[in-house]
Structure formats: C-alpha cells, structure tokens
Copies of this chain bind each other. A is one copy, B any other.
C-alpha cells in the first residue's frame, strides 16, 4: 500500500470498521480511499494504491455500487470508468440509512409480521408472539419516525439535531399555550 501516511491511517481504519459491519475490509478501504481522493479514480489506480488484485477491485466496486455509495464518472476520450463518492456527507448518511433499512429493517419487519399472522400452537408460542409483537411495534415506531424525518431538507434536519432534547421543552411550552386557548387537553402530541 503506497499512500500518503495520513490517508493510509484513514483507509486502514475503515478497512477494520468494514469488517465489523457486514461490509468486508477491502470494500471499506476502497470506499475510504475514494472518499478522500480529490479526483475520481479508475479501478487500476485503486488496485495499485491498495495493493490488491484488479479483480478484487472489480468485485468490491460492484458491491459499493449495489449500496449506491459510489458515483461513476467519465473523462472525454477515455473509456475507463472513474469512481468517486458524493461530496455531501449528509447525502452519504441518507444513502447509508436507506440501504441499511432496506437490507436489515425491512426484512426483519416482514419476518415478524409473517410470524405474528400465525396461530400459536402452545403457551410457549403465545408468549414468543407477544415478545415479537413488542419488537415489531418498536421497530415500526422507529421506521415511521425515520420515514418522516428523512423528507426534511438537510438544513432543517441539522437544526433539529442541534436542538436535541431541547425540543421537549418546546413541547411543554406548546402544551401550555394550547391549554390556554382550548379547554383541557393534556397531551395533544400523543396522537400519531
């Protein structure tokens, strides 16, 4: 591996992290490399920089494309493919969230729903279903929240983030304001 030392640390760390997620080491490294490269790279350059085989690069890029994590660029009069990542880190975050949801959350929800449809044949099964139902409810709540906030422009999302838990203060304030105007209505926020 023949990279500026500072880039190399980054690439190696993402390799490690890659294996801790489902992504493998090489895929993580390639992504990291593309992320910090000022210009798009072609497969050959990636293979050289990371000292891995050309075919490994090919397969790993395919994987990254399946995750929508890389962009394909072309230079005039050059028929090689060049690869980059999106510039906007928020966009990257959105893509990651979306893909992980698609691969992990959605299938889980569908398995849970499937099981919850079935008729329990014993007490053990009845209890198991209750537990799964709790899990299903929680995941659905999280998913709905996600589907909702992902629509927000980045600007607003960032504002919301920086507010953090302080939004609850706002909620309380709103409750008070609303109770002034209307007749008793303890917690209007509870409706879905």
Whether A51 is near chain B, meaning CB under 8 Å from some CB there, is: no
Interface set, chain A 12-37, CB cutoff 8 A to B: 13, 17, 19-22, 35-37
* Stretch touching chain B among A59-67, A71-79, A116-124: A116-124
Residue pair B38, A132 in contact (C-beta under 8 Å): no
Interface size class of A (residues with CB under 8 A): 35 or more
Chain B residue numbers with a CB within 8 Å of A123 are 38
Instruction: Report the nearest B residue to A135, measured CB to CB.
Output: B89
Interfacial chain B residues near A103, Cβ < 8 Å: 20
Chain A residues at the B interface, C-beta cutoff of 8 Å:
4-7, 9-10, 13, 17, 19-22, 35-38, 89-90, 93, 103-104, 107-108, 111-112, 114-115, 118, 120-125, 127-129, 131-132, 134-135, 137-138, 141-142, 144-145, 148-149, 151-152, 156, 158-168, 170-171, 173-174, 177, 187, 189-190, 192
